[in-house]
Amino acid sequence: MNQYISKVIDDHREELITLAENIWSHPEMGWKETKAAEWTAEVLRNNGFETEVGAYNMPTCIRAVFGSGHPVVGFCAEYDCLPGLSQEVCTYQKPVIPNGDGHGCGHNLLGAGCLGACIGLKEALIKEGREGTVIFYGCPAEEQLLGKGIMAKRGAFKECDFTIAWHPSTISGDTLGSHTGVEGLTVEFFGKTAHAAGAPYLGRSALDALQIMNIGVEFLREHVTSDVRMHYIITDGGLAPNIVPDHAQAKYFVRALSRKATVDAYERVCKCAEGAAIMTDTRVKVTRLGGLYPTLQNTVIAEAVQEARREIPVNEYTEEELAFADEMNQTQPSYVKDKTIPLRYQDEPLSNESIYGSTDYGDVEYICPGFQVNECTAPSLSPGHSWMMTASSGHSIGMKGMLRAAKIQALAAYKMMADPDRLQKAIDEFKESLNGEEYICPIDDSIPDPYQ
């Protein structure tokens, strides 16, 4: 089956690469991925998927289905970009548009790679005359960390027996470790303005409150578990030094490797805000921005993915591609001449390493068993969310990684669908690992509709 799936995906090579290149050339930010959704839907329709754009009442969301009955597998695609990461396909930093948007997380590859997997799996099911349903979810705004949560709130994913996702990466290798979950918040303080030199005693500084809150959070770091991350920016610190600021605002992200630790840390950060308001005789307003779950990687699906890795040959790269990657790596301080591997495209063993960044795929993995695959699409020293990622996501290095990721996902999903015992084991493990914990969608009614 590995050869058949590989051939099907290779036969769709041009279609998939064109889609990935078009999305790369027209980067669209989360909630605004109109063209990306339209182009992706067109390829889905051309390949026999019943396709809905605007699914779950989200204009840039896609739900596309092939087949019927169980097992049901969902593939989670993304196609949004990042601000400020506009970049040409070259080995040094050179934006197409200064400060423009760009695919610095490779989501142009991510969506097209999932689509390739769906086509490969569909053909495999047809060839073997197997029952089953393949669902492509085009998930908006991953970078805003809210897209899949909102989809989940509106009923997505629970129809699946399992899901698979992938992410462009600097390595070809997967982890059973978690990504962190997140809670986001905006904190605003309201004080009283006054002349900062003439009558400061009349003022109540909102900026003082904000700084005291931030100091509180710095002290809090010592008394949380080591997986907790708390970071903030000040988005309003007043207008002029000689005016006591009556308004100050910060934006916070709180993360941890369990949902419970994330919520605990969030609540304690809120207490720092309340305490600072009391100390400064100001008023505080906390606006929750939403949240997401940590990931919960399923070891049974992981095993199917590792088998698929062994059966799908690793990519071959030309001298030019390796030289391109090496030249790009040279821009990074950790580069060591003749030692730094240009591309880590060889498969690496399954690890247990946790990842402190976050993905909204975690929510999906708390709804049904799931696994996220990583495939090499960028030079070994590329930082996440960087111009290097943008450049390689528009290069043949990225396209090759995307096609192999499509094959691995399709084959792993096929292995799960063709073996009911295996699928049952994945479902049993999922239930066990929840340990009685129930998925409570972190998107509550206070979170405004992002499309409004």
What are the residues binding Zn ion (CB under 5 A)? 105
Q: Any alpha helices (H) in 187-284, and if so which ranges? A: 206-220, 259-280
Least distance (Å) between residue 106 CB and Zn ion: 7
Cβ proximity to Zn ion: between 76 and 135 the closer is 76
Amino acid type, 203: G
CA 414, CA 408: separation in Å to the nearest integer? 10
At closest approach, how far in Å is the CB of 194 from Zn ion? 46
Q: Which residues of 287-312 are buried (b: 16+ CB within 10 A; e: fewer)?
A: eebbbbbbbbbbebbbbbbbebbebb
Considering the complex, state which of residue 120 and residue 147 has its C-beta at the smaller distance from Zn ion.
Answer: 147
Considering the complex, state which of residue 105 and residue 224 has its C-beta at the smaller distance from Zn ion. 105
Report the residue count for the chain.
452
| Rounded (5°) CA angle 22-23-26 | 85
Name the 3-class secondary structure at 351. strand
Q: Comparing C-alpha atoms, which of 274, 261, 273 is closest to residue 183?
A: 261
Backbone angles phi, psi at 300, to 5 degrees: -70, -45
Give the span between the Cα atoms of 200 and 165, in whole angstroms. Answer: 56
- Least Å distance between CB 159 and Zn ion? 24
Instruction: Choose between 71 and 173: whose C-beta lies nearer to Zn ion.
Output: 173
Nearest of 76, 281, 299, 238 to residue 166 by alpha carbon = 76
Judge whether 148 and 80 are in contact, CB under 8 Å.
no
Q: How far is CA 143 from the centre of its chain?
A: 6
If the CB atoms of residues 105 and 417 are measured against Zn ion, the closer one turns out to be: 105
Nearest to 221 by CA among 180, 185, 183, 268: 268
Q: How far apart are CA 106 and CA 20, in angstroms?
A: 9
> Where are the alpha helices (H) located in 54-199, listed in sequence order?
107-128, 147-153
Closest residue to Zn ion, Cβ-based? 105
Residue nearer to Zn ion on the CB measure, 178 or 205: 178
**Nearer Cβ to Zn ion, position 105 or 244?**
105
The residue (of 105 and 402) whose beta carbon lies closer to Zn ion is 105
Closest distance between Zn ion and the C-beta of residue 139, in Å?
Answer: 11
Nearer to Zn ion, 170 or 214 (CB): 170
Taking the CA atoms of residue 265, residue 268, residue 272 and residue 273 in that order, the dihedral angle to the nearest 10 degrees is 90
Contact 75, 165 (CB under 8 A): yes
Nearer to Zn ion, 8 or 85 (CB): 85
Rounded distance, CA 110 to CA 132, Å?
A: 23
* Nearest distance from C-beta of residue 445 to Zn ion, angstroms: 27
